[in-house]
Amino acid sequence: AQSVAQPEDQVNVAEGNPLTVKCTYSVSGNPYLFWYVQYPNRGLQFLLKYITGDNLVKGSYGFEAEFNKSQTSFHLKKPSALVSDSALYFCAFPNRKLIWGLGTSLAVNP
Amino acid sequence: DTGVSQDPRHKITKRGQNVTFRCDPISEHNRLYWYRQTLGQGPEFLTYFQNEAQLEKSRLLSDRFSAERPKGSFSTLEIQRTEQGDSAMYLCASSLSRKWTSGRAGETQYFGPGTRLLVL
């Protein structure tokens, strides 16, 4: 079955350090992949997506993600984490509806 | 604000009562989706519409759940005879599909703030 996986339930990083939130996929063909962020008690906000073209995708709030076909990964990255980046992050791919990973809780410590 | 809106934002009801939620998508978007999310979990797909046509329903959508999008604009999700297990955040999203697709599509779904339902 096609799916995405987020192997880490929680990621902790110090403010100012680089952060990575991992996502791997099992999707046939050329996948479209998305990252969304959810702040406490709020809806989901679109961060970025990979459709085709450059493997490095830049998105909102200084986030970027690298599509790696050989490793079937689409990890979310940011060079310097902010406390305000603390939230729940979801990787997803579309198959009419969105198929979601289980989410990774990011905690950025001051 | 031209984003997706949902009403109400919060709903508390007693078990056995009926509730109805409304979603207003971004105006030019032809696709509308409903998801359910419980605390700490990812969203679960419920159903989606292309214009006024309901194209897919999840097995999660029991007979007590019904969704409509009568004029291809706003949508309502009704839950009849609510149960405590229905307590969750109900999320609506919309997207613009530029062609009729039967498979994957890369259009972005934009989400509303959600309606949090608590069934006592």
Is pLDDT above 80 for A109? yes
Contact B104 A96 (CB under 8 A): yes
Structure token digits, residue B107 = 């259009």
Optimal mutation site among A26, A98, A100, A106, interface B, most CBs of chain B within 10 A: A98
Which of A43, A33, A48, A46 has the alpha carbon at shortest distance from A3? A33
Instruction: Choose among B41, B56, B109: nearest Cβ to A98.
Output: B109
Q: What is the pLDDT of residue B18?
A: 98
**pLDDT at res. B1:** 53
CA distance A92 to A87: 16
CB pairs under 8 A between A and B: 65
In order of A3, A13, A24, A49, B76, the CA distances from B7 in angstroms are: 31, 36, 35, 28, 10
pLDDT value of position A16: 97
* Whether A93 and B104 lie within 8 Å, measured CB to CB: yes
Over residues A31-90, the pLDDT tens digits come to: 899 999 999 877 899 999 998 888 999 999 999 999 999 999 999 999 999 999 999 999
Residue A56 near residue A66, CB atoms below 8 Å: yes
